[in-house]
């Protein structure tokens, strides 16, 4: 029942967003700047990031400041209690990936969310303390700041703390988001205390103050990661977990550490693609799809055609089949990255694509032996020195597990649902998985987050990513294609309608005005199944002209974010 209510809640969310889309048509023109830019899903957080740049901070400083600010001003997805991924391009040419994905508690077991009949207990894995994994956001952001930033921790976290103490005005979109989730939010006294006044939700225009969250941020300023993973904050978190029969322990928190990884790399039509490696599936699957598409040629006037969407769909199907079988935490599963990024593998897939759709049931994942030698939110930042940062962070559903840590003021995530609780059983995003993504202690659950930086001649030209669960990869992909193949400016590229196919279920979902009637008919004649009409991602993107250096940014008009530059 909970899963069904969640589905309907999400449907209402997309309807509300669709109704405002046309009102934001002015966002199709990018914001331009000369020195630096921040693009994110919430305007106040974007302004905070810009102020850090103006004060002399680099892109990493600004990105971390935005991350902490979003925990205050955008609690639907911004967080202290979740996790994320950061891809960095440094001015000296180095590319770095920081994995601060949540991990399973030490007490986790493979079948912990199955009832006596062997069925997944949906509410237990999606709502309340039992759904929470060990959070990574604070550790990951502070790791990036300490190693690659230039400013002090206080300079970076203080603006978020100020917003928590002084409060901020509830926006139309935030008020609508609270209303959509009111039933689940009201179930937990610690949550209700913050977001309800006299049994009524905060409304548009009212000032929301969060003193408990401010205290948590102060402890982070004073003690760094220890101010979150040890001491008072950790005690409050575990007290909340015990109250709801959850699984996180004090030792789980004290033992959490982010991982710095090598980025995954690909090429596409003369551009270098730099993206997030496993434990995210995003970068690998993005590059796999690009490798397949590179075997075909599309003219600019073929954008939106049945030919284009048919080939795009078939490439998505193959890549998501590989995702379901091969992707997982590399500390627990041998991920065949070499195969999945192979141009030869992509060429073999491309030869299987013709004028007729292949049913998803007939598409199998590739064999490594043949090819190998053995509600989330995104923000993008660039600075005047040539540093670029692409960050995607999440607590999974809107407001995560819906429960706030009493006395600490932040939401717990519900990331345990991103594991494959049972092979072949879809999670809330319809994604299926198997042993590669099974539950295990201290394991990172698979993600679709795809923070990406596109380079030309070693310099950033496109910084982008998206929220949206299983649609993250395909949303990021299509904006990239719109810029590189179809020569759109970044605002048009972000605003253009998108489609999505994830292998299972076997259908093409699409956006308002995304598939013309004659295109839908042509796709059906090719054997494609047309699915739901819904919003697909909320991309935050920056384009840097390789010839002039001018910076253009766009926050997706499907949302209510902002691009701030100078």
Confidence at residue 321, expressed as pLDDT on a 0 to 100 scale: 96
Report helix, strand and coil shares of the chain as percent, to nearest 5.
Answer: 40, 15, 40
Residue the block writes with tokens 């502070």: 142
Average pLDDT over residues 121-138: 98
Helices (H), 74-210: 122-126, 137-148, 153-166, 172-180, 182-185, 189-195
Percent of the chain residues topping a pLDDT of 70: 94
Whether residue 27 is predicted with pLDDT greater than 50 in this model: the reply is: no
Per-domain residue ranges of the chain: 29-83+109-257+385-433, 261-376+450-565
Confidence at residue 8, expressed as pLDDT on a 0 to 100 scale: 39
pLDDT grade for 22, boundaries at 50, 70 and 90: very low
Tally of CA atoms within 13 A in the half-sphere of 482 that contains its CB: 23
Whether residue 3 is predicted with pLDDT greater than 70 in this model: the reply is: no
Residue in 122, 313, 376, 476 annotated catalytic: 376
**Residue 543 CA, distance from chain mean position:** 19
Rounded Cα–Cα distance for residues 425 and 305 (Å) = 34
pLDDT digits (tens, 9 = 90+) for 324-358: 999 999 999 999 999 999 999 999 999 999 999 99
pLDDT digits (tens, 9 = 90+) for 170-188: 999 999 999 999 999 999 9
pLDDT digits (tens, 9 = 90+) for 540-565: 999 999 999 999 999 999 999 999 99
Our answer to whether residue 233 is catalytic in this structure is no
pLDDT grade for 20, boundaries at 50, 70 and 90: very low
Average pLDDT over residues 458-469: 97
Confidence at residue 368, expressed as pLDDT on a 0 to 100 scale: 83
CATH code matching the domain that covers 261-376+450-565, chosen among 3.60.20.40, 3.40.718.10, 3.40.630.10, 3.50.50.60: 3.60.20.40
Rounded Cα–Cα distance for residues 149 and 179 (Å) = 38
Which of 103-112, 191-200, 325-334, 425-434 comes out lowest in average pLDDT?
Answer: 425-434
pLDDT digits (tens, 9 = 90+) for 251-266: 999 999 999 999 999 9
Confidence at residue 88, expressed as pLDDT on a 0 to 100 scale: 99
Rounded Cα–Cα distance for residues 546 and 146 (Å) = 30
pLDDT grade for 370, boundaries at 50, 70 and 90: low
Rounded Cα–Cα distance for residues 54 and 31 (Å) = 17
Return mean pLDDT, the chain: 94
């Amino acid at each position: 029942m909970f899963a069904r209510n969640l589905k309907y809640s999400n449907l209402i969310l997309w309807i509300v967003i669709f109704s405002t889309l046309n009102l934001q048509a002015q966002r199709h023109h990018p914001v331009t700047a000369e020195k630096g830019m921040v693009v994110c899903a919430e305007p106040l957080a974007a302004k905070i990031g810009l102020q850090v740049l103006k004060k002399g901070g680099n892109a990493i400083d600004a990105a971390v400041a935005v991350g902490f600010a979003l925990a205050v001003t955008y609690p639907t997805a911004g967080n202290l209690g979740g996790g994320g991924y950061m891809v960095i391009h440094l001015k000296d040419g180095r590319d770095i990936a920081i994995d601060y994905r949540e991990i399973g508690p030490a007490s986790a077991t493979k079948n912990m969310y199955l009832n006596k009949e062997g069925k997944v207990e949906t509410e237990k894995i999606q709502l309340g303390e039992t759904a929470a994994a060990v959070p990574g956001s604070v550790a990951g952001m502070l790791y990036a700041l300490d190693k690659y930033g230039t400013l002090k921790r206080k300079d970076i976290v203080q603006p978020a703390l100020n917003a928590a103490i002084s409060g901020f005005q509830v926006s139309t979109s935030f008020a609508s988001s609270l209303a959509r989730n009111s039933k689940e939010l009201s179930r937990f006294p610690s949550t209700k205390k913050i977001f309800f006044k006299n049994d009524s939700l905060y409304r548009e225009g009212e000032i929301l103050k969060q003193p408990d969250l401010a205290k948590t941020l102060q402890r982070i300023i004073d003690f760094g990661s220890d101010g979150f993973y040890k001491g008072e904050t950790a005690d409050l978190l575990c007290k909340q977990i015990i109250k709801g029969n959850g699984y996180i322990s004090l030792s789980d928190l004290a033992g959490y550490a982010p991982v710095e990884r090598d980025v995954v790399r690909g090429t596409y039509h003369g551009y270098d693609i730099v993206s997030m490696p496993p434990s995210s599936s995003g970068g690998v699957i993005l590059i796999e799809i690009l490798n397949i598409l590179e075997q075909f040629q599309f003219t600019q006037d073929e954008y939106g055609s049945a030919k284009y969407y048919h080939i795009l769909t078939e490439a998505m199907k193959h890549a998501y089949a590989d995702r379901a079988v091969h992707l997982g935490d590399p500390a627990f599963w041998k991920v065949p990255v070499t195969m999945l990024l192979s141009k030869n593998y992509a060429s073999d897939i491309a030869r299987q694509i013709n004028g007729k759709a292949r049913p998803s049931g007939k598409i199998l994942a590739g064999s490594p032996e043949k090819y190998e030698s053995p509600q989330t939110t995104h923000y993008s930042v660039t600075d005047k020195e040539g540093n670029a940062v692409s960050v995607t962070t999440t607590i999974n559903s809107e407001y995560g597990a819906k429960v706030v840590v009493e006395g600490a003021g932040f939401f717990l995530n519900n990331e345990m649902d991103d594991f494959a609780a049972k092979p072949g059983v879809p999670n809330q995003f319809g994604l299926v998985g198997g042993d590669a993504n099974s539950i295990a202690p201290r394991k990172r659950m698979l993600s679709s987050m795809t923070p990406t930086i596109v380079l030309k001649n070693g310099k950033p030209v496109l910084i982008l990513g998206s929220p949206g669960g299983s649609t993250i990869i395909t949303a990021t992909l299509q904006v990239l294609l719109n810029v590189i193949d179809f020569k759109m400016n970044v605002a048009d590229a972000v605003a253009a309608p998108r489609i999505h196919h994830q292998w299972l279920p076997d259908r093409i979902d699409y956006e308002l005005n995304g598939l013309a009637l004659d295109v839908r008919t042509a796709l059906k004649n090719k054997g494609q199944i047309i699915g739901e009409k819904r919003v697909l991602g909320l991309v935050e993107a920056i384009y840097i002209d390789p010839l002039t250096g001018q910076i253009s940014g766009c926050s997706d008009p499907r949302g209510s974010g902002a691009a701030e530059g100078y």
